[in-house]
Homo-oligomer: A and B are copies of this chain.
Amino acid sequence: MLILSEHEVQERYKMSNAIEDIENVFKTLNNDKIKLEQRTVIPTGEDSKSMLYMPAVNLEAQLGMIKITSITPNNPKHQLPTTQAKIVITDLEYGEHKAVIDGSYLTRLRTGALSGIATKYLSREDSHTLGMIGTGGMAFEQLLGILEVRNITTLLLYNRTTEKADAFKEKVQESFPNLDIQVVEDTDELLEHADIINCQTRSDVAVFNGEHVKPGTHINGIGSYQPEMREIDVKAIERASKVVFDDVDGVLEESGEMIEAMDQGVFNVSDLYASLNELSTKQLKRDNDEEITVFKCVGAAYYDLAVALGVYQNEA
Protein backbone atom coordinates (compact mmCIF):
# COMPACT_ATOMS: atom_id res chain seq x y z
CA MET A 1 0.00 0.00 0.00
CA LEU A 2 1.07 3.51 -0.78
CA ILE A 3 1.14 5.62 2.40
CA LEU A 4 1.50 9.39 2.01
CA SER A 5 1.85 11.78 4.95
CA GLU A 6 0.56 15.36 4.83
CA HIS A 7 4.05 16.58 3.95
CA GLU A 8 4.46 14.02 1.17
CA VAL A 9 1.11 15.01 -0.34
CA GLN A 10 2.14 18.69 -0.15
CA GLU A 11 5.34 18.00 -2.04
CA ARG A 12 3.60 16.06 -4.80
CA TYR A 13 0.35 17.85 -5.42
CA LYS A 14 -0.14 21.58 -5.94
CA MET A 15 -2.96 24.08 -6.39
CA SER A 16 -2.72 23.92 -10.19
CA ASN A 17 -3.19 20.12 -10.02
CA ALA A 18 -6.21 20.49 -7.76
CA ILE A 19 -7.93 23.08 -9.98
CA GLU A 20 -7.36 20.96 -13.09
CA ASP A 21 -8.53 17.71 -11.46
CA ILE A 22 -11.66 19.34 -10.02
CA GLU A 23 -12.63 20.94 -13.33
CA ASN A 24 -12.13 17.55 -14.98
CA VAL A 25 -14.27 15.71 -12.42
CA PHE A 26 -17.34 17.68 -13.49
CA LYS A 27 -17.39 15.79 -16.81
CA THR A 28 -17.33 12.44 -15.01
CA LEU A 29 -20.04 13.67 -12.65
CA ASN A 30 -22.21 14.78 -15.57
CA ASN A 31 -21.72 11.39 -17.27
CA ASP A 32 -23.17 9.83 -14.10
CA LYS A 33 -19.96 7.90 -13.49
CA ILE A 34 -19.52 9.16 -9.92
CA LYS A 35 -21.48 7.40 -7.20
CA LEU A 36 -21.85 8.94 -3.75
CA GLU A 37 -23.58 8.05 -0.55
CA GLN A 38 -24.76 10.41 2.17
CA ARG A 39 -21.95 11.08 4.61
CA THR A 40 -22.15 9.26 7.95
CA VAL A 41 -21.62 11.14 11.22
CA ILE A 42 -21.03 9.50 14.61
CA PRO A 43 -21.03 11.94 17.56
CA THR A 44 -18.15 11.12 19.90
CA GLY A 45 -18.39 13.81 22.55
CA GLU A 46 -19.54 17.32 23.41
CA ASP A 47 -19.37 20.45 21.23
CA SER A 48 -19.94 18.58 17.96
CA LYS A 49 -16.93 16.33 18.56
CA SER A 50 -17.50 13.63 15.96
CA MET A 51 -16.30 11.22 13.30
CA LEU A 52 -17.31 11.89 9.68
CA TYR A 53 -17.19 9.37 6.85
CA MET A 54 -17.56 10.46 3.21
CA PRO A 55 -17.38 7.70 0.57
CA ALA A 56 -17.41 8.17 -3.21
CA VAL A 57 -16.45 6.11 -6.25
CA ASN A 58 -15.43 7.02 -9.79
CA LEU A 59 -16.64 4.22 -12.07
CA GLU A 60 -14.83 5.69 -15.07
CA ALA A 61 -11.44 5.57 -13.34
CA GLN A 62 -12.51 2.36 -11.50
CA LEU A 63 -11.28 3.89 -8.24
CA GLY A 64 -13.11 4.54 -4.99
CA MET A 65 -12.25 6.46 -1.84
CA ILE A 66 -13.51 7.25 1.59
CA LYS A 67 -12.47 10.32 3.56
CA ILE A 68 -12.37 9.68 7.30
CA THR A 69 -12.40 12.91 9.30
CA SER A 70 -12.19 13.44 13.05
CA ILE A 71 -13.53 16.71 14.43
CA THR A 72 -12.08 17.53 17.85
CA PRO A 73 -13.13 21.08 18.89
CA ASN A 74 -10.84 21.12 21.95
CA ASN A 75 -7.72 20.37 19.93
CA PRO A 76 -6.49 23.95 19.40
CA LYS A 77 -5.90 24.11 23.18
CA HIS A 78 -3.37 21.33 22.67
CA GLN A 79 -1.83 22.87 19.52
CA LEU A 80 -3.51 20.20 17.44
CA PRO A 81 -5.81 20.79 14.44
CA THR A 82 -9.59 20.58 14.91
CA THR A 83 -10.08 18.42 11.82
CA GLN A 84 -7.81 15.54 10.81
CA ALA A 85 -8.48 13.46 7.73
CA LYS A 86 -7.24 10.29 6.06
CA ILE A 87 -8.33 9.02 2.66
CA VAL A 88 -8.30 5.33 1.70
CA ILE A 89 -8.24 4.57 -2.03
CA THR A 90 -9.48 1.29 -3.51
CA ASP A 91 -8.93 -0.02 -7.04
CA LEU A 92 -12.39 -1.25 -8.02
CA GLU A 93 -11.27 -3.60 -10.77
CA TYR A 94 -9.93 -6.21 -8.33
CA GLY A 95 -11.12 -4.59 -5.11
CA GLU A 96 -7.60 -3.93 -3.87
CA HIS A 97 -7.00 -1.21 -1.28
CA LYS A 98 -4.14 0.73 -2.77
CA ALA A 99 -3.35 3.83 -0.75
CA VAL A 100 -3.82 5.74 2.49
CA ILE A 101 -3.31 9.43 1.89
CA ASP A 102 -3.36 12.16 4.49
CA GLY A 103 -6.45 14.24 3.80
CA SER A 104 -5.90 17.35 5.91
CA TYR A 105 -3.85 19.47 3.48
CA LEU A 106 -5.83 17.94 0.63
CA THR A 107 -9.12 19.17 2.14
CA ARG A 108 -7.74 22.69 2.55
CA LEU A 109 -6.27 22.55 -0.97
CA ARG A 110 -9.49 21.43 -2.65
CA THR A 111 -11.41 24.15 -0.80
CA GLY A 112 -8.88 26.72 -2.03
CA ALA A 113 -9.22 25.27 -5.53
CA LEU A 114 -13.01 25.68 -5.37
CA SER A 115 -12.62 29.38 -4.49
CA GLY A 116 -10.00 29.65 -7.23
CA ILE A 117 -12.31 28.17 -9.86
CA ALA A 118 -15.24 30.39 -8.82
CA THR A 119 -12.95 33.43 -8.83
CA LYS A 120 -11.57 32.60 -12.28
CA TYR A 121 -15.07 32.73 -13.77
CA LEU A 122 -16.78 35.36 -11.59
CA SER A 123 -14.23 38.01 -10.56
CA ARG A 124 -13.17 40.90 -12.76
CA GLU A 125 -10.08 39.96 -14.78
CA ASP A 126 -8.38 43.14 -13.60
CA SER A 127 -8.81 42.19 -9.92
CA HIS A 128 -5.51 43.02 -8.17
CA THR A 129 -6.50 43.46 -4.51
CA LEU A 130 -7.60 40.51 -2.43
CA GLY A 131 -9.16 41.08 1.00
CA MET A 132 -9.12 38.08 3.32
CA ILE A 133 -11.38 37.92 6.38
CA GLY A 134 -10.20 35.20 8.74
CA THR A 135 -6.56 34.06 8.83
CA GLY A 136 -6.99 30.65 10.49
CA GLY A 137 -6.19 27.13 9.36
CA MET A 138 -7.95 27.32 5.96
CA ALA A 139 -6.57 30.72 4.89
CA PHE A 140 -3.26 29.83 3.25
CA GLU A 141 -4.70 27.48 0.63
CA GLN A 142 -7.54 29.95 -0.02
CA LEU A 143 -4.86 32.49 -0.89
CA LEU A 144 -3.13 29.95 -3.14
CA GLY A 145 -6.40 29.36 -4.99
CA ILE A 146 -6.86 33.07 -5.77
CA LEU A 147 -3.20 33.65 -6.66
CA GLU A 148 -3.48 30.80 -9.16
CA VAL A 149 -6.21 32.55 -11.19
CA ARG A 150 -5.69 36.31 -10.73
CA ASN A 151 -2.72 38.63 -10.76
CA ILE A 152 -2.98 39.77 -7.14
CA THR A 153 -0.52 42.49 -6.11
CA THR A 154 -2.08 43.66 -2.84
CA LEU A 155 -3.34 41.49 0.02
CA LEU A 156 -5.44 42.97 2.83
CA LEU A 157 -5.86 40.84 5.94
CA TYR A 158 -8.45 41.12 8.67
CA ASN A 159 -8.77 38.90 11.70
CA ARG A 160 -10.73 39.42 14.93
CA THR A 161 -7.48 38.79 16.82
CA THR A 162 -5.01 41.12 15.06
CA GLU A 163 -1.93 39.20 16.24
CA LYS A 164 -3.08 36.20 14.24
CA ALA A 165 -3.38 38.36 11.12
CA ASP A 166 0.17 39.62 11.77
CA ALA A 167 1.49 36.08 12.09
CA PHE A 168 -0.29 35.06 8.88
CA LYS A 169 1.14 38.10 7.09
CA GLU A 170 4.63 37.02 8.07
CA LYS A 171 4.06 33.48 6.81
CA VAL A 172 2.63 34.68 3.49
CA GLN A 173 5.36 37.28 2.98
CA GLU A 174 7.98 34.55 3.26
CA SER A 175 6.35 32.56 0.44
CA PHE A 176 5.45 35.63 -1.67
CA PRO A 177 8.04 38.37 -1.06
CA ASN A 178 6.68 40.59 -3.86
CA LEU A 179 3.15 40.74 -2.49
CA ASP A 180 2.16 44.02 -0.78
CA ILE A 181 0.47 42.80 2.42
CA GLN A 182 -1.37 44.97 4.94
CA VAL A 183 -3.24 44.03 8.09
CA VAL A 184 -6.36 46.22 8.46
CA GLU A 185 -8.14 47.18 11.67
CA ASP A 186 -11.69 46.98 10.38
CA THR A 187 -13.45 45.25 7.51
CA ASP A 188 -14.79 48.51 6.03
CA GLU A 189 -11.21 49.44 5.17
CA LEU A 190 -10.83 46.08 3.50
CA LEU A 191 -14.11 46.41 1.57
CA GLU A 192 -13.09 49.84 0.29
CA HIS A 193 -10.08 48.46 -1.60
CA ALA A 194 -10.75 44.79 -2.25
CA ASP A 195 -11.69 43.50 -5.72
CA ILE A 196 -12.13 40.04 -4.25
CA ILE A 197 -13.26 39.28 -0.69
CA ASN A 198 -12.47 35.85 0.70
CA CYS A 199 -14.11 34.79 3.99
CA GLN A 200 -12.84 31.79 5.97
CA THR A 201 -14.05 32.14 9.57
CA ARG A 202 -15.98 30.09 12.11
CA SER A 203 -18.27 33.05 12.76
CA ASP A 204 -21.94 32.85 13.66
CA VAL A 205 -22.64 36.45 12.56
CA ALA A 206 -21.91 38.31 9.30
CA VAL A 207 -18.22 39.31 9.25
CA PHE A 208 -18.62 42.48 7.11
CA ASN A 209 -21.27 45.03 6.21
CA GLY A 210 -22.84 44.07 2.89
CA GLU A 211 -23.94 47.67 2.19
CA HIS A 212 -20.30 48.72 1.94
CA VAL A 213 -19.23 46.17 -0.68
CA LYS A 214 -17.92 47.99 -3.81
CA PRO A 215 -19.68 47.38 -7.13
CA GLY A 216 -17.68 44.88 -9.16
CA THR A 217 -16.55 42.87 -6.13
CA HIS A 218 -16.48 39.09 -6.10
CA ILE A 219 -17.02 37.37 -2.71
CA ASN A 220 -16.05 33.82 -1.70
CA GLY A 221 -17.45 32.33 1.53
CA ILE A 222 -16.07 28.99 2.65
CA GLY A 223 -16.21 29.23 6.47
CA SER A 224 -19.83 28.61 7.39
CA TYR A 225 -20.79 24.99 6.81
CA GLN A 226 -23.52 24.61 9.43
CA PRO A 227 -26.96 26.26 9.69
CA GLU A 228 -26.00 28.15 12.88
CA MET A 229 -22.86 29.63 11.26
CA ARG A 230 -22.76 32.63 8.92
CA GLU A 231 -20.15 35.02 7.56
CA ILE A 232 -21.33 36.57 4.25
CA ASP A 233 -23.72 39.45 5.08
CA VAL A 234 -27.25 38.75 3.80
CA LYS A 235 -27.23 42.32 2.37
CA ALA A 236 -24.36 41.35 0.09
CA ILE A 237 -26.32 38.29 -1.05
CA GLU A 238 -29.29 40.58 -1.74
CA ARG A 239 -27.11 42.98 -3.76
CA ALA A 240 -25.39 40.22 -5.73
CA SER A 241 -26.55 39.68 -9.31
CA LYS A 242 -24.89 36.28 -9.56
CA VAL A 243 -24.81 33.70 -6.75
CA VAL A 244 -23.03 30.36 -7.29
CA PHE A 245 -22.90 27.29 -4.99
CA ASP A 246 -20.25 24.57 -4.97
CA ASP A 247 -22.95 21.97 -4.24
CA VAL A 248 -26.57 23.05 -4.46
CA ASP A 249 -28.13 20.55 -2.05
CA GLY A 250 -25.27 20.92 0.41
CA VAL A 251 -25.39 24.73 0.54
CA LEU A 252 -29.18 24.82 0.88
CA GLU A 253 -28.96 22.46 3.86
CA GLU A 254 -25.84 23.69 5.59
CA SER A 255 -25.01 27.33 4.85
CA GLY A 256 -26.33 29.57 7.64
CA GLU A 257 -26.28 32.79 5.59
CA MET A 258 -28.08 31.26 2.62
CA ILE A 259 -30.73 29.76 4.91
CA GLU A 260 -31.14 33.20 6.54
CA ALA A 261 -31.32 34.92 3.13
CA MET A 262 -34.06 32.51 2.09
CA ASP A 263 -35.91 33.00 5.39
CA GLN A 264 -35.76 36.77 4.87
CA GLY A 265 -37.04 36.36 1.32
CA VAL A 266 -34.05 38.12 -0.27
CA PHE A 267 -32.85 34.92 -1.95
CA ASN A 268 -34.73 32.09 -3.61
CA VAL A 269 -33.37 28.84 -5.07
CA SER A 270 -34.59 30.07 -8.47
CA ASP A 271 -32.25 33.08 -8.08
CA LEU A 272 -29.21 30.76 -8.19
CA TYR A 273 -27.09 31.68 -11.22
CA ALA A 274 -25.31 28.35 -11.48
CA SER A 275 -23.59 25.54 -9.63
CA LEU A 276 -19.79 25.57 -9.77
CA ASN A 277 -20.14 22.59 -12.11
CA GLU A 278 -22.24 24.63 -14.58
CA LEU A 279 -19.97 27.67 -14.18
CA SER A 280 -16.97 25.55 -15.16
CA THR A 281 -18.44 23.28 -17.83
CA LYS A 282 -20.36 26.12 -19.55
CA GLN A 283 -17.52 28.61 -18.99
CA LEU A 284 -19.97 31.20 -17.64
CA LYS A 285 -18.63 34.67 -16.77
CA ARG A 286 -19.78 37.89 -15.15
CA ASP A 287 -21.63 40.26 -17.52
CA ASN A 288 -19.99 43.57 -16.57
CA ASP A 289 -17.57 45.28 -14.18
CA GLU A 290 -20.27 46.58 -11.85
CA GLU A 291 -21.86 43.32 -10.72
CA ILE A 292 -21.39 41.94 -7.24
CA THR A 293 -20.92 38.15 -7.41
CA VAL A 294 -21.01 35.60 -4.58
CA PHE A 295 -19.64 32.06 -4.33
CA LYS A 296 -20.80 29.98 -1.37
CA CYS A 297 -18.97 26.72 -0.64
CA VAL A 298 -19.60 23.92 1.86
CA GLY A 299 -17.66 21.05 0.23
CA ALA A 300 -18.77 17.70 -1.22
CA ALA A 301 -17.29 14.20 -1.42
CA TYR A 302 -16.76 14.35 -5.20
CA TYR A 303 -14.29 17.19 -4.72
CA ASP A 304 -12.34 15.06 -2.24
CA LEU A 305 -12.55 12.21 -4.73
CA ALA A 306 -11.15 14.41 -7.50
CA VAL A 307 -8.04 15.48 -5.59
CA ALA A 308 -7.44 12.15 -3.85
CA LEU A 309 -7.49 10.27 -7.16
CA GLY A 310 -5.33 13.04 -8.62
CA VAL A 311 -2.65 12.40 -5.99
CA TYR A 312 -2.92 8.64 -6.39
CA GLN A 313 -2.84 8.66 -10.19
CA ASN A 314 0.21 10.96 -10.19
CA GLU A 315 2.03 8.23 -8.25
CA ALA A 316 0.79 5.24 -10.20
Contacts and interface: CB of A to CB of B under 8 A. Distances in A.
Interface of A: 1, 3, 35-38, 40-45, 49, 51, 53, 55-57, 59, 64, 66, 68, 70-72, 75, 78, 80, 82-84, 86, 88, 90, 92, 94-97, 100
A55 B53 contact: yes
B71 A90 contact: no
B66 A95 contact: no
Contacts of A55: 40, 42, 51, 53
A55 to B, nearest CB: 5
Contacts of A82: 95
A61 to B, nearest CB: 12
A44 B35 contact: yes
A3 B43 CA distance: 26
25 contacts: A1-B3, A1-B100, A3-B100, A35-B43, A35-B44, A37-B40, A40-B55, A42-B57, A44-B64, A45-B59, A53-B55, A68-B90, A70-B90, A70-B97, A71-B95, A72-B95, A75-B95, A78-B94, A80-B94, A82-B95, A84-B96, A86-B88, A86-B97, A88-B88, A88-B100
A38 to B, nearest CB: 8
